[in-house]
Amino acid sequence: MSILINKNTKVVVQGITGRDGAFHAQKMKAYGTNVVAGVSPGKAGQNLEGIPIFNSVGDAREATGANASVIFVPAPYAADAILEASYAGIELVVAITEGVPVKDMIRVMPVLRQRGTQLIGPNCPGLITPGECMIGILPGNIFKTGNVGLMSRSGTLTYEVVNLLTENEMGQTTCIGIGGDPVAGLYYQELLQLFENDPDTKGVVLIGEIGGDAEEQAARFIKERMTKPVVAFIAGQTAPPGKRMGHAGAIISSGTGTAEEKIKAFAEAGVPVAKEPSQIPGLLKRLLDK
């Protein structure tokens, strides 16, 4: 099994006629993802490599039964694109767009919660269930079917760690890049619960970074509610306080959000924390072999 997406997921690409949307729509389709439609206002009736294009998400869903959307719409319009997908009845929205204003996401999130729409992102690489479905901009060739779940605030670290897992014959159930923005969709606790409930996921890798307290909250959740082994890695351990490093959310302020605090929280929860990514496969294998 997997979480969130599988071979039956039907994907609509919002912004499919843009440069990035067109490129990645074809990449997703080539991977085997069931890309059933694209959306670009005013271009209904056209198609991209056999993918039909509609004026709205509502039209696309009615015609194809799409239940997931991926957004390649420019930042000023991304929030409205997310809302359009939600109001059309799309169950899972993956917002790749970076630079979405925080105030826009603050406006969007209550609507999504009320409507029961699940969101990954914004400013994320997407997610993949290897061999079944890939939604986003992930390099599909490095993933391998297996029993390890992975979630990460960093896209590039996702790729590095997945490649290490695959090289060590540790395939994955589902891998999710949750993005590094201060206001975002599904985060560690929700995803940990999904992995906990997935019978095929035997262990989980959590990749965090400095800034905020999401990792500390995840550590408490793991201690109280997880029965499956979790291994963590925290990026930004040498970042100076007050300096933004990479993501908008990756900043240490007022003495909080430091790598030391996060590592301590995981240690108290019994979660091994790798000092560097290359240690992750070995730490997880030892836990899985117990």
- The catalytic residues are 247
State which amino acid sits at residue 97: T
User: Could you give the CA distance from residue 115 to residue 208 in angstroms, rounded to a whole number?
Assistant: 28
